[in-house]
Amino acid sequence: AFYRQKIKSLLVDKNAVIVAHYYTDPEIQALAEETGGCVADSLEMARFGAKHSASTLVVAGVKFMGETAKILSPEKQVLMPTLEAQCSLDIGCPEEAFIRFCDEHPDRTVVVYANTSAAVKARADWVVTSSIAVELIEHLDSLGEKIIWAPDRHLGRYVQQQTGADILCWEGACIVHDEFKTQSLEKMKALYPEAAVLVHPESPQAIVDLADAVGSTSQLIKAAQNLPNPSMIVATDKGIFYKMQQACPDKTLYIAPTAGEGATCRTCAHCPWMAMNGLKAIADALEGSTQGHQIQVSEILREKALRPLNKMLDFAE
């Protein structure tokens, strides 16, 4: 309660607003909601931050989300609870190797997931999020374009199967989604035959094959609401349960099984970097020491990364 109160008054003093991802911890999402901020996927976070009149954005998520906010709103101060909150997809797609890969295939349109660094975005023709991935690739395919897709190989394969597009895929993966286990999920389905299985397409093929609905976070929340089943087995970061349970309070939500049990699972379906976004860290960020909190993107990089990001926002309208 101490930090919640402190953050609330700091937000007012500093003309700041919290922009939080669905995968952050419930207390962070609740605070964002209570204080007029947003809880959303990366596309909505980008839109919300760019349109909001606050002079400071506190981005509770992982680093690329802060960078995206700064690229779209250079006039705003963008703070993060910690700049150490990384993303395995971003880490798995280093700038130099990626640029070389693109240069080897100059005939291909470069489409990168939002989960990448500003430098990787700067080399891209398009940025995309999972909520519009299939539509955008369908559109580019209809124009006869051949695609480089980076960094998530599972999402790339899923989009390829949905669209039939010619896609050359970077071999990255999300450590959370990569960990869902097929045999355990089959057992769980047998245990809860009335449950629908909801799967994020960053998961391995065998998990997607067991799904009743496949989609991005916002699409899975809608599916949980719309499907008639009384319960859901959910294969994505369990941070999503906060908004999913709000959307369907009467339904029972189970997290899909991950590799290992208890203390032996690597992520246990929760991103360790998202979990770094705590209340104290938000208070510290707002309190003044910008070191370790303030997102900076050089103007040269910003201008280059802005183009494919704006194309994404225009396409998503």
Q: Give me the residues that bind ligand MLT (CB under 6 A), please.
A: 41-43, 114, 129-131, 200, 216-217
Return d(Cα 14, Cα 50) in angstroms, integer.
Answer: 17
**Residue 293 token pair:** 């909190």
Q: If 0-12 CB within 10 Å is exposed, 13-18 middle and 19+ buried, where does residue 134 land?
A: buried
Backbone angles phi, psi at 119, to 5 degrees: -65, -40
Q: Distance (Å, rounded) from C-alpha 174 to C-alpha 26?
A: 21
Per the listing, tokens 């189970």 go with 254
Beta strand 252-255 with 231-235: parallel, antiparallel or unpaired? parallel
Q: Please, which residue, 14 or 153, has the CB nearer to ligand MLT?
A: 153
Which DSSP string do the residues of 201-232 spell out, in sequence order?
TTS-HHHHTT-SEE--HHHHHHHHHHS--SEE
Closer residue to ligand MLT, CB minimum distance, 167 or 199: 199
Task: Find the shortest distance in angstroms from Cβ 185 to ligand MLT.
Answer: 19
CB of 219 to ligand MLT, least distance (A): 7
Smallest distance from the beta carbon of 191 to ligand MLT, in angstroms? 26
Sequence-distant (≥ 6) Cβ neighbours of residue 97 within 8 angstroms:
none
The distance of closest approach from Cβ of residue 22 to ligand MLT in the complex, given in angstroms and rounded to an integer, is: 7
Q: Shortest gap between Cβ of 141 and ligand MLT (angstroms)?
A: 21
The nearest distance, CB 309 to ligand MLT, in angstroms, is 13
Angle between helical axes of 42-51 and 63-72 (0-180°, round to 10): 40
Considering the complex, state which of residue 29 and residue 42 has its C-beta at the smaller distance from ligand MLT: 42
| Closer CB to ligand MLT, 131 or 258, in the complex | 131
Q: Which is nearer to ligand MLT, 42 or 109 (CB)?
A: 42
DSSP assigned state of 171: -
Least distance in angstroms from the C-beta of 271 to ligand MLT: 10
Closer to ligand MLT by Cβ: residue 10 or 255: 255
| Residue nearer to ligand MLT on the CB measure, 14 or 154 | 154
Query: Is 305 exposed, middle or buried, given 0-12, 13-18 or 19+ CB atoms closer than 10 A?
Result: buried
Outline where DSSP puts E strands in the chain: 16-21, 38-40, 56-60, 77-79, 109-113, 126-128, 147-150, 167-169, 195-199, 213-214, 231-235, 252-255
Give least dist CB 131 to ligand MLT, A: 6
- 3-state DSSP call for residue 148? strand
CA dist 178 and 258 (Å) reads 9
- Residue 133 vs 140, nearer CB to ligand MLT: 133
